A and B are shown apart, each in its own frame.
Chain A
Amino acid sequence: MSEGIDEGLRSKLQQQGVWVSSMQELYNWGRKNSIWPLQFGLACCAIEMIATAASRYDIARFGGEVFRPSPRQADLMIVAGTVTKKMAPQIVRLYNQMADPKYVIAMGACAISGGPFKQGYNVLKGIDRYIPVDVYIPGCPPRPEALLHAFMELQRKIDEQKLSGASKAAHLDREQPSEFPVPAFGKHDLEPPANSNVFHPPAIERA
């Protein structure tokens, strides 16, 4: 957790009522427990997202209940549903309008790969072609528990982010882009069909 402190000493101090922490730990602890998602849905996955926010599954238990209707106030984009090629530029634009630090959960088969529409002409084969995705959830649609799991994975990821050094968090690194080019409507397809700086198609491993 906090570097430079011996865990045994830390535990001993805690027993005496002294809590030793680090700036990084405190900063990440605060951030990970108050993630405000952007309020928008694209398809049937959005229904599961709504269920996750409602009383039965209650994403408020993890600090993610404040769905914001403006990208300016949101930390997390849950891409819940099929991203059509006609919608993709707007999604990228919304992402660009979010303030750093920002995170993306791609929810469901469509958002991660195009899903059942992968071989069609009108659906984007995964939102990771244009914006960086932090957590992918498979499923069609994923159950609310899966979204909660993804949310907890994201919290873990935030908790592990560094404030300084070579591997510091992207939003603290001036070299890292926080906006990505919005694709244009072309004559036959989106132009470009993928952002090669972001999109790295899976390499196939063979034994």
Chain B
Amino acid sequence: MEGLEQIKARIEAAAPGAIVEMVQNASPSQQHSLKIDNEHAHDVAKWLHDDPALRLDFCSNVTGVDWPDRTVKKTVKVKKVVDGEEKEVTETTEEKIPGYLEAVYHLYSMTHKHGPVIIRMRTADRAVGAQLPSLTPIWRSAEFQEREIFDLYGIRFDGHPDLRRILMWDEFEDHPMRKDYRDPDDYEYEPTPHEEVLERAKRYYTPRPQIDGAESIVEPLNG
């Protein structure tokens, strides 16, 4: 199979106006991907599916990713004139990157037995009703997985034939796979609480002197 750079160039030639970006994966897997813009996503996907050299006719997996708001700190050494003398000063700049949601598609070709080609789409923000175009009309196998992303991340897929929650019930309002999701607090006794669960346990139990190492847990406050 041709390289991602070549695919990117061919997409840009085939679908004029499409903005395709390489997303590098620095991990040992080196599985780089292509970020495609939402406006041309349908055309690009159709091209990937139909192109005789690629024939990516099988979408094996669709997954969501939540990227919350983050700040990136950069320290730069700048030469400045302080009190008439030139000195090297370190300046820190903070860059705020607003959060977004992402859908990642893993595409293979059954015809040519190659793949995967990974494509991504990003929403504008993490607000309620963040939208992406649905690729279910091109790969039918994406239908349930896009529903799952809608359920757990809250991305609305525009053009999806049957966009409903699939795992949680219809009345449910949260999106549990988002990083800022907090599950309902129905804490129950845990024999060996640690980390987050320990913090939660502490709110329900009065502390006790350390006897047996299971720190900070005693009788319940209310009987």
Which A residues fall within an 8 A CB radius of B? 85-86, 113-114, 118-122, 125, 185-189, 193-194, 201-204, 206
Contacts and interface: CB of A to CB of B under 8 A. Distances in A.
Interface stretch (B14-22, B28-36, B132-140, B163-171): B163-171
A193 B184 CA distance: 9
> What 6 A-B pairs come out closest when comparing CB atoms?
A121-B183, A189-B184, A185-B169, A185-B171, A187-B173, A193-B186
A125 B185 CA distance: 12
Contacts of B174: 187-188
Interface string B169-198: 111111010000101101011100000010
A204 B189 CA distance: 8
Q: Chain A interface secondary structure, helix, strand, loop or mixed? A: loop
A194 B168 contact: no
Interface string B132-170: 000000000000000000000000000000000001111
Contacts of A193: 184, 186
A186 B186 CA distance: 14
Given A118-B188, A188-B172, A203 B167 contact: no
Contact of B220 (A189, A194, A203): A203
22 contacts: A86-B168, A118-B188, A118-B190, A119-B197, A120-B183, A121-B183, A121-B184, A122-B167, A125-B186, A125-B188, A185-B169, A185-B170, A185-B172, A188-B173, A188-B174, A201-B188, A202-B189, A203-B223, A204-B217, A204-B218, A206-B218, A206-B219
A187 B189 contact: no
Contacts of B167: 86, 122
